[in-house]
Amino acid sequence: MEVETCRMSHVACRMSELIHQFGIEWKILVAQIVNFFILLVILKKFAYGPILNILKERRKKIEEGLLAAEESQKKLGEAEKEKEGILTDARKESIGIIQKSEVTAREKESQILTEAGKKAEGIFVEEKAKIHEEKLKMKEDIYKEFSVFLKEALAKIVEKSPQDLDDNLIQETLRELKEM
């Protein structure tokens, strides 16, 4: 039998021997190939297609997520710029407020010092006038006491009554004392 089968070409003969040695039957092989293609069609329709759709949806969601992330990054950058702008404006405004308050404080200080100087000057002038009045009063009291003392001293010196003494002499002596 082998001789009859080997009449075919030498390659075909070798192939036939190889298939026979492995115990492969062509009818079963054809059935398995048909089963494989049926399984391939079923898997493609029910598994591969839905898996591809799921992968497409996932890819789409990932792309949307990446776009959203890029947009979020842009918005974050804009928000950072806006924040910096607001902080810069706030710093400028606070510096302006501080400078304005310093100017106001200096003006207020100057005003207070001026008012205090005026009050102090007023008090000084008032006290000076009081001192001058007291000085004049003290001089007047001293002159009165001194005139009495002088009359008594002159009376003892001259041994005359105080009425007899010359009032002009007393007045002249008092004038000389004032000039001293």
Tokens at residue 60, please?
């789409």
Q: Token pair of 168, please?
A: 């002009």
Is the separation of the CB atoms in 16 and 8 below 8 Å? yes
Lowest model confidence (mean pLDDT) among 24-28, 50-54, 91-95, 129-133: 24-28
Give pTM, 2 decimals: 0.40
Taking 70 as the threshold, does the pLDDT of residue 88 lie above it? Answer: yes
**What average pLDDT does the structure give for the chain?**
84
Q: Which residue has the higher pLDDT, 55 or 6?
A: 55
Distances (CA, A) of 86 to 82, 92, 111: 6, 10, 36
- Per the structure block, which two tokens stand in for 161? 């009554």
Which of 47-56, 87-96, 104-113 has the lowest average pLDDT? Answer: 47-56
CA distances from 106 to 103, 117, 118 (A): 5, 16, 18
**Domain segments of the chain: what residues?**
2-179
Report percent pLDDT > 70 for the chain: 87
